[in-house]
Amino acid sequence: MDIHFVSEEDRESIKHILAYCFDLADETLQSENCLGAFDEGRLAALLYINPLDMYFHGKTVGMGGIGVVSTLPEYRHSHYASGLLIKSLEVMRDRGYLFSALGPFSYSFYRRYGWNLAFHRKRYRISMENLKAFEKRKSTLRPLALKDADNVRKLYEAFMARYNGPIRRNAENWESRFKKLNTNGNYAYGCSHDGKGLDGYIFYSLKGMEFHIHEMVYDSLETRLDLLCFVYAHKAQADDVIWLAPPDDNTPLLLENPNIEQSIKAGMMIRVVDVKRVLEAYSFPPEYHGSFTVKVEDLYAPWNSVPFRVVIGNGNAAVEGIEDGPIDVKCDIQTFSQIMFGYLGMGEAMELGKIDTCSPELLEDIKNLFVGHPTCETDSF
């Protein structure tokens, strides 16, 4: 097996694999981001690294979004996908990515290579009649068009920066979303208090007698209520509202009857690509001054398995590799990824038995340094 980036000469082979594995006929992949595994020159498997920027504690960091991991059937169970995943870690580290995310076909498969669950969404089914309390609207609502993309982007970025994980969408991403409007039942409306600016928006679709909310963003409670009022205006077209909401959404508390059908849907997985750089990018409490050592077990990224000393001051960390000495905190890369991303607080990780070692002297400090932070996924790849 030989693993390297594909070339234009492999285009037909790529199309064949994508069509066979995903029924994707017209997928366009940039060769510099597409790793291929070859058997004597024949493309047997491929993996795509989407170069993305992701929100992390209010700022953006580089993230490699893994997509279309696919292997021809005659090469399956021969470690081709494994080889591609391991090679992708080297590529992402060289490109300066802090994290990698993917949507798994199997959580257990990708967990072997260091990725771990880091997102979930709330799925609501709300009776349209349950929104009747929002019947009166104060704001102006109008259909959105491509000319609104910049204002929509600003709202999105202000709203999503509160989470870890949302993608900072580029112009091409927004253009693609707007091109899908008014086709196949997809629509978008904007909400304005003064009739000029934009204070919130909703992307949705109508399918059968269901109103599906794909994305709803607002700048205030007033805007949020007006958007729900807009949803209720479709009571003649839909019986129920279906919404995959952010994990911290509390919309049921606004309803006359909060006893709605809701469930938790496990989402994408995350992996730390570079332990040192993630610790340096982490937002520590500004009042804390101290240090600790950490050892992360990472079978497939040896640069992460080096013991590190972390010295914290003024909210920032200086991180250096060490040769030997006592280790204050020890865990595997799967747990470390969840903790650094905020999906799992250090205290909860300890309660679940996911921390191999923690210095008793630093126990309370470590718990307070690494607390949970809401995560949210907004894009698939």
Find, among 362, 345, 363, the residue nearest to 354 by Cα.
345
Same structural domain, 139 and 246: yes
Same structural domain, 291 and 184: no
pTM as predicted: 0.92
Q: What is the mean pLDDT of the chain?
A: 94
- Edge to edge, the sheet with strand 210-218 lists 140-143, 186-192, 200-207, 210-218, 240-245, 120-127, 261-266
Per-residue model confidence (pLDDT) at position 25? 66
Say if 140 falls within a structural domain: yes
Same structural domain, 330 and 299: yes
Same structural domain, 182 and 254: yes
Same structural domain, 212 and 319: no
Confidence of residue 26 (pLDDT cuts 50, 70, 90): low
Same structural domain, 54 and 136: no
Q: Total domain count for the chain?
A: 3
Same structural domain, 131 and 82: no
- Structure confidence by residue, pLDDT tens digits, 285-325: 999 999 999 999 999 999 999 999 999 999 999 999 998 88
Say if 115 falls within a structural domain: no
Same structural domain, 138 and 236: yes
Same structural domain, 150 and 261: yes
- Structure confidence by residue, pLDDT tens digits, 236-272: 999 999 999 999 999 999 999 999 999 999 999 999 9
- Per-residue pLDDT, averaged over 56-78, amounts to 95
Say if 135 falls within a structural domain: yes
Say if 35 falls within a structural domain: yes
Share of the chain above pLDDT 70, in %: 99
Say if 157 falls within a structural domain: yes
- The range of the structural domain enclosing residue 260 comes to 121-266
- Per-residue pLDDT, averaged over 78-96, amounts to 97
- Is residue 241 within 8 A of residue 131, CB to CB? The reply is yes
41-79 burial string, b = 16+ CB within 10 Å, else e? eebbbbbbbbebebbbeeeebbbbbbbbbbbbeebeeee
Q: What is the CATH number of the domain that holds 300?
A: 3.30.1050.10
Say if 202 falls within a structural domain: yes
3-class DSSP state for residue 17? helix
Q: What is the CATH number of the domain that holds 48?
A: 3.40.630.30
- Structure confidence by residue, pLDDT tens digits, 211-231: 999 999 999 999 999 999 999
Confidence of residue 92 (pLDDT cuts 50, 70, 90): very high
Same structural domain, 167 and 198: yes
Say if 381 falls within a structural domain: no
Place of tokens 């999906």: 343
- Is residue 63 within 8 A of residue 100, CB to CB? The reply is yes
Pairing of strands 59-71, 99-102: parallel
